[in-house]
Amino acid sequence: MAQTSWKNFFLSVFDYKTEKYVIAKNKKVGVLFRVFQLAVLLYIIGWVFLKKKGYQERDDSIQSAVITKLKGVALTNTTDSGLHLWGAEDYVIPPQGERIFFIITNFIETPNQRLGHCAESIKVPDGHCRENDDCTEGEAVISGNGIKSGRCLNSTGTCEIYGWCPIEKQHKPQEAILRKAENFTVYIKNFMRFPKFQFSKSNVLETNNDMYLKKCLYNETHHPYCPIFRLGDLTSWAGHSFQDMALMGGSIGVLIQWNCDLDKDYSKCNPRYSFTRLDVKSDNSVASGYNFRYARYYKDATGQTYRTLFKVYGIRIDIMVTGEAGKFNIIPTIVNIGSGLALMGAGVFLCDMVLLYMMKKSTFYRESKFESAKYESIRWKGKRRELKAVSEDGTPRRQDTWQGKFIELAPTKSEVNS
Amino acid sequence: MAQTSWKNFFLSVFDYKTEKYVIAKNKKVGVLFRVFQLAVLLYIIGWVFLKKKGYQERDDSIQSAVITKLKGVALTNTTDSGLHLWGAEDYVIPPQGERIFFIITNFIETPNQRLGHCAESIKVPDGHCRENDDCTEGEAVISGNGIKSGRCLNSTGTCEIYGWCPIEKQHKPQEAILRKAENFTVYIKNFMRFPKFQFSKSNVLETNNDMYLKKCLYNETHHPYCPIFRLGDLTSWAGHSFQDMALMGGSIGVLIQWNCDLDKDYSKCNPRYSFTRLDVKSDNSVASGYNFRYARYYKDATGQTYRTLFKVYGIRIDIMVTGEAGKFNIIPTIVNIGSGLALMGAGVFLCDMVLLYMMKKSTFYRESKFESAKYESIRWKGKRRELKAVSEDGTPRRQDTWQGKFIELAPTKSEVNS
Amino acid sequence: MAQTSWKNFFLSVFDYKTEKYVIAKNKKVGVLFRVFQLAVLLYIIGWVFLKKKGYQERDDSIQSAVITKLKGVALTNTTDSGLHLWGAEDYVIPPQGERIFFIITNFIETPNQRLGHCAESIKVPDGHCRENDDCTEGEAVISGNGIKSGRCLNSTGTCEIYGWCPIEKQHKPQEAILRKAENFTVYIKNFMRFPKFQFSKSNVLETNNDMYLKKCLYNETHHPYCPIFRLGDLTSWAGHSFQDMALMGGSIGVLIQWNCDLDKDYSKCNPRYSFTRLDVKSDNSVASGYNFRYARYYKDATGQTYRTLFKVYGIRIDIMVTGEAGKFNIIPTIVNIGSGLALMGAGVFLCDMVLLYMMKKSTFYRESKFESAKYESIRWKGKRRELKAVSEDGTPRRQDTWQGKFIELAPTKSEVNS
């Protein structure tokens, strides 16, 4: 016996239980629901699958290495240092080909500075003085060039300082000395890797023609895979004039985007370049430029140190690499379909609300949808087959609804089962 | 005819089919389910929408450029190099205003080193020797300063080496020479951009008052939008004393967080700064500090190279920018509501389990919920209307349940349809 | 009265409404559904919970700081500069212990360059000339070393240029001069932090034995927590020979991965290192190497500037830190269970389709599942109890299905309620 019941139980486990539906012959709600279904379907197919490629596993933790190299020489002629030839080893800082680098386009040179006493610049407010008491000895001049010695110099009206003398000439540059930097070229090598898919690629065109990379110049339409950029082009693509930027300096962002669909061919995975100026304010006015100082130190025959100070203005290039790769995978496909279908639940909820509470015949639909299963002893009166079903609020329902007449009604299953 | 049936089919497509529910008049499970619904609702509204802003599309791939500039001078007086004035061009490495930079706070200078032979330091274990055989010629001293020449020097008990002589004095610094660096200021310019929303902003207060940026100093309460930081403040906000760090060096992380709700006004999107010391161990003890060496090369009148070696200790500042922006979008709103509703499914499952298997009257509820639809020929005996429905386990059900009496039962739909 | 009805309404709110199911005694679909349920269950438990740890809140915005330090000296002997000792202050660029650094393994030195006129290299195509007209005065030589002076030199067949003379010898190096760099060691300090969990750790083994870090060398099996790496090992783990890379230079990526399960012990959160060569093309052929130039400037007794130009080849090390931490949290646990269950919906949909449209008895199942609730006046003919129910297509249903005989049928609820 136990065996039989176990067998029955086992068999019943493999009965398929499906939800019972009530067909509400209400076209309004029906159309509403179909429209909702269609919207969900369109959303799943159009947005999730076609646009967002929801059938793909994604990897956005791109690993990337950038190496840069600049080419070009320029001759400058200044009163301080005469004719001078600038090569990449001079105008690129740092020289080792970093992802972020700075190209000198303008400079103020202050040669042969030695430690000693001299007058603070008239342009430094904190250095102004009338008498010696204004120049407390040993105090640093705020935003100045040295330490006050305690003396006020009448000739300039500023404190005497101990520092590197002569001090830098404080004037705004009127013209970019290295304006020919416009024609320098940057060679950007970018190796990237998507670790999840073991996929790696470089932005350098794979060609057998070695000369191509020596001569080509990036151009979005004609040479999209040539990673050599003219400086003047970089700035103009970012929407600014090179000569304007060269004067006071600025910052250009070069964004390399790798958006790769690895279900497609290897050759379809290519970088896209975009260029923005980074040091602009929201109102598109340009911030005050980009400059810094560095010094070259020398020793004379007696071992005394002297130096040449450079205040350099220039263009800082910041190469940013982002990317995302996708490849077909069954798990996200299932998950996306599943959660899309889950959205239908919202539609069912909505349509049910409309049907059950906002239609004229809502009461009828409510009673069709909801079947009472209150466990109660049934009042069945012998052979006369007088039956009083009990409505949800406890009053005899069928009699009530059937206009006061007694009619023969079959007991509902719940009544029979009681 | 075919037209009619197609029309019927077409019309039936727009019938709304809604699930039939059985009302189980069981207050325990009912309350349980309402509590669950309430929890899900609170979760969706409170957590997903209010806290996580689930109605927004998010962009966390912030693009950022950081430019830094230090200001301040300090005078040092050492026996090796006498009075020396340090400006930003000297104490910031690298000088070009990078995101990660190092400020010299202490140093050991070894001037006038020339290539030649001298004794290895007594502090290098591998340099110790008793006789010449201990100093294999041409072998590098491990963690030492040069290449063994093959001779053991009795005066020091160490090998003679070929290297830059005199070798650096190996002593731990007792005092930070550039301790006045505490008052240096860092100006941090941070331009950031959320590419998805085409939104960009800078951390520099947009003000018409040019003098503000020349005088202000960051202070969380009084000047939260002034991007100029005193070095001493940076370390104290990170929980450490500047003078302690200055001695042996250390590393400070400055985290700039942009958490922007782009549904709000442009002016509400502001950075938040936080400061941590990066080189601390888990038990909050400090790692051994931060130092490195660099050399300045000179040539004398005869063309011989000599150099000054600096071992510098200092504070490394690492500026990290993170951020996330959100903006209202219908897609994530729908998805979040949908997946919140999907959670209700879990509640239905749970409550059904309780109702169908853990209540006293579970058998009754099970029979109410599940309606058999076994396809079987109906045993209907002509006019006498003797009907035997078949229960789930194959025995005549209605007769069985109805206490042995034959009663008139309407055939159920499944019987009728057979 | 109103009070009573409100009370009734209030009580009915806490009635539990459960979906009515039809048991389709169809083993095929039943087994299909159970298999689907099992698959979803396995997916939730196996993939979501065990493999992806779906019960954890995740933080992948790791904050990290890397400090590096190189050790080792090497002696070189070249015709240009004689015996020279290289220490870390010379061969590491930049010297301050950055995340990305370059180690010189080979170099071409051009000492004592002065600004002046000399012949362009024969290797620069743009410098070739036959007569003076080929050398336009003031024009830069493309990829050359200076500015054309306007004269064509017959001795070399190239233009005379103004630049740093003598120009660099243009030859490919045959042997790595600093080949002993193979034994240099890199000490990588990596401090990381998971901001969401306030968890921070360093890759340096926390040990009381100070000597351990002075002597150990990283080895995946024997010393996995020693952060000191031999350069030769780095390249060989990346699959390349150090001596090959040393000649022309190259780029090595060191990936530090922190995948931490913070539900486990602190000591279980450890970095994993991996090594790849970054400058290889897809066909595994190596790109042309890695080199750059820098110059050291000197002044002679008369104040004239001269310089030593170095073209350095070497290995660029790029240390990348990634990581993800997870910690138990109730929210993602619920969300993952919920969306897993939502997947069941897809199974229900699939099985319903099979049952209702692909089985032999689909019509029967369809009628069992769907109950009509068309609101229509019932044609009940007085006491004679002649009842015609209306089937879905509007024809009298019961009579129709019941083989033409009139039988007494109890009105269905929908008929009664009308």
A26, A408, A416 member nearest B402 (Cβ): A416
**Amino acid occupying residue A330:** I
Q: d(Cα A394, Cα A390) in Å, to the nearest integer? A: 5
> In this structure, is the dihedral angle defined by the CA atoms of residues B142, B143, B147 and B148, taken in order, positive or negative?
negative
C291 assigned to a ligand binding site: yes
Task: Check CB contact under 8 Å for B18 and A20.
Answer: no
Q: d(Cα B405, Cα B395) in Å, to the nearest integer? A: 15
pLDDT tens digits, C354-393:
888 888 888 888 888 887 765 443 333 333 333 333 334 3
Q: Which two tokens stand for residue C79?
A: 């015709």
Q: Would you list the DSSP string of A357-402? A: IISTTHHHHHHHHEEE------EEEGGGTEEE-B-TTSSBHHHHHT
Q: Would you list the DSSP string of A121-154? A: PTT-GGGB-SSGGGS-TTPBPTTSSEEEEEEEET
CA distance A290 to chain C (A): 22
Ranges B7-16, B172-181, B309-318, C334-343: which has the least confidence = C334-343
DSSP reduced 3-state for A55: coil
Among B62, B73, B188, the strongest candidate for a mutation testing the A interface, having the largest count of A CBs within 10 A, is: B73
The pLDDT of A384-407, averaged and rounded, is 36
Contact A73, A87 (CB under 8 A): yes
**Amino acid occupying residue B252:** I
C138, C162, C290 member nearest A67 (Cβ): C290
CA distance A37 to chain B (A): 12
For residue C208, CA distances in Å to A335, C204, C213 come to 50, 12, 10
Q: Of the candidates B262, B242, B265, which has an alpha carbon nearest to the alpha carbon of residue B252?
A: B242
* Whether residue A302 has pLDDT greater than 70: yes
The pLDDT of B199-214, averaged and rounded, is 78
A71 assigned to a ligand binding site: yes
Q: d(Cα C313, Cα C333) in Å, to the nearest integer? A: 53
Task: Check CB contact under 8 Å for B20 and A23.
Answer: no
Q: Which two tokens stand for residue A293?
A: 């100082």
DSSP reduced 3-state for A10: helix
Q: Chain C residue with minimal CA distance to A401?
A: C417
A360 assigned to a ligand binding site: no
* Whether residue C139 has pLDDT greater than 80: yes
Q: d(Cα C5, Cα A122) in Å, to the nearest integer? A: 91
Task: Check CB contact under 8 Å for A202 and C281.
Answer: yes
Among C13, C14, C18, the strongest candidate for a mutation testing the B interface, having the largest count of B CBs within 10 A, is: C18
pLDDT tens digits, B86-115:
999 999 999 998 999 999 999 999 999 999
pLDDT at position B95: 92
Q: d(Cα C121, Cα A308) in Å, to the nearest integer? A: 31
Q: Of the candidates A29, A22, A9, which has an alpha carbon nearest to the alpha carbon of residue A355?
A: A29
Query: Kind and range of the H or E element at A19?
Result: strand A16-19
B23, B193, B408 member nearest A371 (Cβ): B23
β-pair type (A370-372, B21-24): parallel
Secondary-structure percent of chain C, ordered helix, strand, coil, rounded to 5: 30, 35, 30
Q: d(Cα A162, Cα A146) in Å, to the nearest integer? A: 5
Task: Check CB contact under 8 Å for C371 and A23.
Answer: yes
Q: d(Cα B165, Cα B309) in Å, to the nearest integer? A: 11
For B392, which DSSP code?
T
Q: d(Cα A310, Cα A111) in Å, to the nearest integer? A: 8
* Whether residue B233 has pLDDT greater than 60: yes
Burial B5-23 (b: 16+ CB within 10 A, else e): eeeeeeeeebbbbbebbbb
pLDDT at position B397: 36
The pLDDT of C265-270, averaged and rounded, is 89
Task: Check CB contact under 8 Å for B19 and C19.
Answer: yes
Contact list in C for residue A410 (CB cut-off 8 A) is 410
CA distance C211 to chain B (A): 12
Secondary-structure percent of chain A, ordered helix, strand, coil, rounded to 5: 30, 35, 35
* Angle, CA of C394, C395 and C396, to the nearest 5°: 120
Distance of alpha carbon A329 from the chain centroid: 24
Residue B227: partners with Cβ closer than 8 Å, 6 or more residues away = B187, B188, B189, B190, B203, B204, B205, B218
What are the backbone angles phi and psi of residue B391, rounded to the nearest 5°?
Answer: -80, 180
Contact C355, C370 (CB under 8 A): no
First to last CA, chain C: 26
Contact list in B for residue C14 (CB cut-off 8 A) is 27, 30-31, 34
Task: Check CB contact under 8 Å for A85 and C147.
Answer: yes
In terms of pLDDT, which residue wins out, C34 or C289?
A: C34
- CB neighbourhood size of A255 (10 A): 18
Contact list in C for residue A75 (CB cut-off 8 A) is 138, 140, 147, 162
DSSP reduced 3-state for B302: coil
Q: Of the candidates B371, B271, B360, B256, which has an alpha carbon nearest to the alpha carbon of residue B317?
A: B256
**Amino acid occupying residue C168:** E
Q: Of the candidates C163, C80, C78, C177, which has an alpha carbon nearest to the alpha carbon of residue C121?
A: C163
Q: d(Cα A91, Cα C125) in Å, to the nearest integer? A: 24
DSSP reduced 3-state for B2: helix
Q: d(Cα C119, Cα B65) in Å, to the nearest integer? A: 43
Q: d(Cα C267, Cα B90) in Å, to the nearest integer? A: 42
When pLDDT is cut at 50, 70 and 90, the band that residue A259 belongs to is very high
Q: d(Cα C409, Cα C414) in Å, to the nearest integer? A: 13
**Amino acid occupying residue B283:** D
pLDDT tens digits, B362-378:
888 888 888 776 544 33
pLDDT tens digits, C192-233:
888 889 888 888 877 767 677 777 899 888 888 889 999 999
Q: Of the candidates C272, C82, C314, C310, which has an alpha carbon nearest to the alpha carbon of residue C182?
A: C314
The verdict on ipTM greater than 0.85 is no
Q: d(Cα A143, Cα A137) in Å, to the nearest integer? A: 17
Contact list in C for residue B278 (CB cut-off 8 A) is 65, 191
Q: d(Cα C106, Cα B106) in Å, to the nearest integer? A: 33
C235 burial level (CB within 10 Å; 0-12, 13-18, 19+): buried
CA distance C211 to chain A (A): 35
- The residues with which C24 forms a beta bridge, in sequence order, are A16
CA distance C229 to chain A (A): 21
DSSP reduced 3-state for C396: strand
Q: Which two tokens stand for residue B98?
A: 């990078």
When pLDDT is cut at 50, 70 and 90, the band that residue A286 belongs to is low
The pLDDT of B229-249, averaged and rounded, is 92
What are the backbone angles phi and psi of residue A177, rounded to the nearest 5°?
Answer: -70, -40
CA dihedral angle for residue C236, residue C242, residue C248, residue C254, rounded to 10 degrees: 50
Q: Of the candidates B273, B246, B243, which has an alpha carbon nearest to the alpha carbon of residue B102?
A: B246
C298, C355, C411 member nearest A16 (Cβ): C355
pLDDT at position C2: 63
**Amino acid occupying residue C134:** D
Contact list in A for residue B368 (CB cut-off 8 A) is 371, 373, 413-414
Contact A222, A79 (CB under 8 A): no
Contact list in A for residue C61 (CB cut-off 8 A) is none
Between B and C, how many CB-CB pairs are < 8 A? 222
pLDDT tens digits, A348-385:
888 888 888 888 888 888 888 887 765 443 333 333 33
Among A293, A362, A370, the strongest candidate for a mutation testing the B interface, having the largest count of B CBs within 10 A, is: A293
Residue C393: partners with Cβ closer than 8 Å, 6 or more residues away = B8
C311 assigned to a ligand binding site: yes
- Helices A2-13/C27-42 angle, 10° precision: 70
Q: d(Cα B26, Cα C17) in Å, to the nearest integer? A: 9
> In this structure, is the dihedral angle defined by the CA atoms of residues A153, A158, A164 and A165, taken in order, positive or negative?
negative
DSSP reduced 3-state for A148: strand
When pLDDT is cut at 50, 70 and 90, the band that residue B223 belongs to is confident
When pLDDT is cut at 50, 70 and 90, the band that residue B392 belongs to is very low
Q: d(Cα B389, Cα B403) in Å, to the nearest integer? A: 14
Q: What percent of chain C has pLDDT over 90?
A: 34
β-pair type (A146-153, A158-165): antiparallel
pLDDT tens digits, A9-23:
788 888 888 888 888
